[in-house]
Amino acid sequence: MSQTKYLSERDLAVNWHPYTQMQTAPPPIGIVRGEGAILYSEDGKEYIDAVSSWWVNLHGHAHPHIAQRVAQQLQTLEHVIFAGFTHEPAVELSERLLCLLPQNQKKVFYTDNGSTAVEVALKMALQFWYNQGIPKTKIIAFEGSYHGDTFGAMAVSERSVFTQPFQQYLFDVAFLPVPVPGREMETLDALTALLTQSDSAAFIYEPLVLGTAGMVMYAPEILDQIISLCHQHQVLCIQDEVMTGFGRTGKRFAADYLTQQPDLMCFSKGITGGTMALGVTTVSQQIFNAFLSEDKTRALFHGHSYTANPVACAAALASLDLVENLEFQKNLDRISTSHANFKTEFEHQPGIKECRQTGTILAVEFAVEQTSYFHSLRDKLYNFALENGVLLRPLGNIVYVLPPYCITENQLEKVYSTLEGMRKLVQ
């Protein structure tokens, strides 16, 4: 029995994998080591991690600076309850993070992941109005959006086969068309109609790029208009930067493209450089003040056992060291330029419906009749990439590239050549 088969058998005997039909899925690939943009499997194969292991890895696998900071923290303080106590990594991380965010962001609330960062933002937004005795309860979101898999996050995400079993438990949400080029006025008109009613509490959105919708992209100028319109009608804006944060759009945050400022912001994924789980929700002083009272029932009753875990905060601090390094922006610019050049060459090729790019995010949409996530084409493209030593996770007929920032030009060229091979495969 080979080592690979043995590991797969052990895994399948005990593990339940995400987004996976366990009866029909092939055995998982055993990964034993990572370095830079490369994952090494136990059978000796190498894979370029072109999706940053679900968008979390910023600086490359097993980065020595992050590993050293985590090891040091483990020898000092591994965890302490964050209710009534605090510690240096959490305070320093909040201080440094707030310095990078829009000036109106003043307080940090820690959770465990992207979904919980969104959950607490929704609870904050709704309780903000509740504490003031103002009956605002409606949430607005974009069609096709994805904000997580917990119940509140599902409710403000696209209703689909993924949420169908839980439909009756999800609260009502008003969905807007995404303001892609040519549909901006349609979005503004729909939003204006909603805002004529007085019950809208908050608008939650993925800024500039909707991830699981297929890397659907829209301009910062229209988002500025939307945020401004919401604020004119006293509707809070929740900017979900779980995916776009820490460089994905070509700047540190999608907020850096905007003149308008959100009221709440959500972060996770890349915040620790892909090292471990951590979620963050930041808010304006106005939001925070609405919870201050002599009445203890007006407090925010939300918490997690591992809130502000010192080791996770230490990993995030080490990642911020790298984010604030001059080399970081150079890599963002390098990858963005490479993507743009490839897009220019590739988008007019036969079999290509559209190429989209924002910063380090590149998406290729193949012109095929069947576009469902569950169509066999998705698996065909996924397996083709693996056979060529590249990890890509197609969204139906859409293949995106979202690499760690340490990826080399030669590695990018291999990813691009794999996309070209996919194009020939689907024709």
Q: What is the 3-state secondary structure (H, E, C) of 179-217?
A: CCCCCHHHHHHHHHHHHCCCCEEEEEECCCEECCCCCEE
Helix, strand, coil percent values for the chain (each to nearest 5):
40, 20, 40
Q: What is the pLDDT of residue 87?
A: 98
User: Which of the following is catalytic: 138, 240, 343, 400?
Assistant: 240
What is the helix (H) or strand (E) element at residue 327, kind and residue range? helix 326-346
Low pLDDT (below 50) residues in the chain:
1-2, 4
Count of positions (residues) in the chain: 427
Q: Could you tell me the two tokens for 330?
A: 């150079």
Q: Which domains does the chain have, with CATH numbers?
A: 3-62+327-426 (3.90.1150.10), 67-323 (3.40.640.10)
Q: Sign of torsion, CA 217 120 59 274?
A: negative
Q: How many whole angstroms separate alpha carbon 176 and alpha carbon 187?
A: 6
Q: Is 269 part of the annotated catalytic residue set? A: yes
Kindly name the residue from 110, 269, 306, 405 that is annotated as catalytic.
Answer: 269
- Whether 240 is catalytic is yes
- Res 370: pLDDT: 79
Q: Supply the pLDDT for residue 9.
A: 84
Phi, psi for residue 280 in degrees, rounded to 5 = -140, 135
Torsion of CA 255, 256, 259, 264, to 10 degrees: 20
295 is catalytic: no
Q: How far apart are the first and last CA of the chain?
A: 39
**Residue 95, number of CB atoms within 10 A of its CB:** 10
- Concerning whether 123 is annotated as a catalytic residue, the answer is no
| Catalytic-role residue among 6, 19, 43, 353 | 19
Catalytic residue among 146, 257, 405, 416: 146
pLDDT at 8: 83
**Each residue of 227-250: b (16+ CB within 10 Å) or e?**
bebbbeeebbbbbbbbbbbbbbbb
